[in-house]
Amino acid sequence: MTRRLLDNRNLSILVILGLFVIMFGYGSFAYTGFFAVQNFLNLFIDNAYLLILAVGMTFVILSGGIDLSVGSMLGLGTMIASSLVTKQHLNPMLVIVIVVLVGTALGFFMGCLITLFELPPFIITLAGYYLARGLCYVVSIDTIAISDPVFQSAAHSEIHIIGNSFVSPSAIIAVVVVLVGAYVLRFTRFGRTVYAIGGNEQSALLMGLPVGRTKIGIYALSGFCSGLAGVVFTFYTLSGYALDGKGMELDAIAAVVIGGTLLTGGSGSILGTVLGVLVYGTIQVLIVFQGTLNSWWTRIAIGFLVFVFCALQRLFETRKEATAVRGASRTSAAVAGGG
């Protein structure tokens, strides 16, 4: 039982959960007003877009790929949404659908290049990064404000859940994305194929799994998430700005890595990613409460956490390899002895 609980996957979840509890606990002791249900809910409210991006990124990284375009795609999403709503006066619901479709289409396009021509995801999504950011400026160089009532109400409404504590519509969207993502990953054929590709693409192919289709689907899904995150981001800023989401791809990757997903693919979970985002958010809140450190310390802390978690991953891997080698040599010795 204890061994079951402490197998690698659960262990990394436990470590990250422990880290989150320690950090939140430290904040509660050190700063008055830190420990509150609302403060916990704020983590979801303030990081909803990051949560959505990170869910898409989890699929990509699980399959052994990477998507560097998500930050720019989020920016493109805010630009398209704001310009269609403010300048073209389109129905806001229709606009949201368009933004999400554009994101999905761009992701699909990159997925096709990566899969059909066996191009490295790193380079193709890097070009996607340029492309989406450039398209932002094609839409407009200036900030476009949104005064549409639907967006306004999405930005300001508070949905009360426990007593006086509330969540925002964007937090609810994020939680829905998380739940759907977790379900798809765990209980559908698509999700299991993602794990198989990340574990070993060649084997997945030989097993007869639809590797190509799934890979294209993964990048389309990540594009979908970036588009949706763009919409959610406009709920915060009520505007579109061409630099929105700058550097956010790395925040998303960092959250996924801290959440225990192996960068080589094949192992990880949405739950870990959610915890990763919560840790990220808690660091930010801690630095705000601390007061004297400037907000750039967040980046240093995130960089440090990524380092620690990657190093730990490597440690586990090398230990597993070592035991595998030892096990193999023991078996071959036994076989030789038996012969």
Partner 1 sequence: MPALKRMSLGRLVWPLAALGCLLLFNLFFTPNFFHVEVKQGHLYGNLIDIIKNAAPIMLLAIGLTLVIATKGIDISVGSVVAISAGVVAILLGGDLGGVPLFPVPVAIAAALIACTAAGFWNGILVSRIGLQPIIATLILFVAGRGIAMVLTNAMVIWLYVKPFAIFGQGYWLGLPFSIYMVAGLLLLTWFVTRRTAIGMFVESVGINPTAARFSGINAKNILLGVYVFSGFCAGLSGLVVCSTVMSADGNNAGNLYELDAILAVVLGGTSLNGGKFYLLGSMIGALIIQTLTTTIYAFNVAPEISQVVKAFVVYGVSLLQSERFRRSVSGMFVKGRATA
Token look-up 């023991």 returns: 330
* Residue 14: Cβ within 10 Å count: 13
**Minimum distance, C-beta of residue 29 to partner 1, in the bound complex (Å):** 26
140 alpha-carbon distance from chain centroid:
27
CB of 299 to partner 1, least distance (A): 3
Instruction: Candidates 89-97, 185-193, 195-203, 289-297: pick the segment binding partner 1 (CB under 8 A).
Output: 289-297
Q: Which of residues 20, 129, 224, 241 is near partner 1 by CB under 8 A?
A: 129
Our CA angle for 230, 218, 73, nearest 5°, is: 25
User: Residues 296, 335, 336, 337: which binds partner 1 (CB under 8 A)?
Assistant: 296
Tell me how far, at minimum, the Cβ of 50 lies from partner 1, in Å: 14
Residue 260 interacts with partner 1 (CB under 8 A)? Answer: no
> Which residue number, 17 or 127, has a Cβ lying nearer to partner 1?
127
Half-sphere exposure of 315 (CA within 13 A, CB side): 8
Nearer to partner 1, 147 or 318 (CB): 318
CA distance 248 to 156: 24
Contact between 300 and partner 1 by CB under 8 A: the answer reads yes
Exposure string of 95-125, with b = 16+ CB inside 10 Å and e = fewer, is bbebbbebbbebbbbbbbbbbeeeeebeebb
Site string for partner 1, 131-160 (x = CB under 8 A): x-xxxxxx--x-------------------
The two structure tokens encoding residue 171:
């937090």
By beta-carbon proximity to partner 1, the closer residue of 29 and 296 is 296
Told to check if 252 binds partner 1 by CB under 8 A, we report: no
Amino acid 61 reads I
Q: Which is nearer to partner 1, 151 or 219 (CB)?
A: 219
Q: In whole angstroms, what is the distance from residue 55 CA to residue 76 CA?
A: 19
Nearer to partner 1, 127 or 172 (CB): 127
Q: Does 292 bind partner 1 (CB under 8 A)?
A: no
Q: 191 vs 230, which CB is nearer to partner 1? A: 230
Contact of 114 with 219, CB cutoff 8 Å: yes
Strand ranges inside the chain, DSSP E: 144-145, 159-160, 166-167, 239-240
Count interface residues toward partner 1 (CB under 8 A). Answer: 46
- For the beta carbon of residue 333, count every other beta carbon within 10 angstroms: 10
Instruction: Identify which of residues 23 and 301 has a Cβ nearer to partner 1 in the complex.
Output: 301
Instruction: Output the DSSP codes for 12-38.
Output: HHHHHHHHHHHHHHHHHHHSTT-S-HH
Q: Which of 122, 183, 207, 213 binds partner 1 (CB under 8 A)?
A: 122
Q: Which is nearer to partner 1, 133 or 215 (CB)?
A: 133
* Residues 13/260, Cβ–Cβ less than 8 Å: yes
Please, what is the minimum distance in Å from the beta carbon of residue 317 to partner 1? 8
Binding footprint of partner 1 on the chain (CB under 8 A): 66, 113, 116-120, 122-124, 126-131, 133-138, 141, 242, 250, 253-254, 257, 263-264, 294-300, 302-304, 306-307, 310-311, 314, 318
